[in-house]
Chains A and B, each alone.
Chain A
Amino acid sequence: ETGVTQSPTHLIKTRGQQVTLRCSSQSGHNTVSWYQQALGQGPQFIFQYYREEENGRGNFPPRFSGLQFPNYSSELNVNALELDDSALYLCASSLEGQGAVRGYTFGSGTRLTVV
């Protein structure tokens, strides 16, 4: 079975720009979560998608938005980029209800640098 894949792996953007990050969930997984990991910190929950709808959100402003598609892949969009948005963005997938029991499978992440 394939794991969680994210693209791109690295990205450099200018402050004020918009960015879209992509995630393909592990085969058979229908739930996708996004986390932001700043350098030297633990990951912070951004939001989760299930059945193409957001079903949970962390303390992130509305300029962080997402989508989930019928094939369960997902996008994270960030508008009006700020320098503090520089981080590793991790996507995690699970089968509904299984994430709590088995743990989420994380992708390799997208390293976003805002200059």
Chain B
Amino acid sequence: ELKVEQNPLFLSMQEGKNYTIYCNYSTTSDRLYWYRQDPGKSLESLFVLLSNGAVKQEGRLMASLDTKARLSTLHITAAVHDLSATYFCAGASGTYKYIFGTGTRLKVLA
């Protein structure tokens, strides 16, 4: 069955710095999703990546998908405090089931 691993699990970074969160998955999955979750809140959809080489950007976040390497990345540019949250990637298993990673807890320090 599809397995999804994220690293790092915890990330503390200074404002203004850049960093990348990695999402590896174990078997073929041509769809990859990124979600953000604030403490005690639900999941907010960030990116839907549907094909090899897909790259999407929204503000300071950019996500990419390499299906051959079974790798997706979420790159943070010039981090600001408002980006502090937990970020999840999820692969699609079949047509309906998401398999989530354990999440990366990001804390941006002023």
Contact = CB atoms under 8 A, between A and B. Distances in A.
Interface of A: 31, 33, 35, 40-45, 48, 55-56, 58, 90, 92, 97, 99-109, 111
A43 B96 contact: no
Contact of A56 (B42, B45, B94, B103): B94
A56 B96 contact: yes
B97 A105 contact: no
Contact of A44 (B92, B95, B100): B100
Contacts, number: 59
Contacts of B25: none
Contact of B99 (A33, A45, A92): A45
B95 A42 contact: no
B100 A42 contact: yes
Contacts of A42: 4, 88, 90, 100-103
A43 B48 CA distance: 17
B31 interface: yes
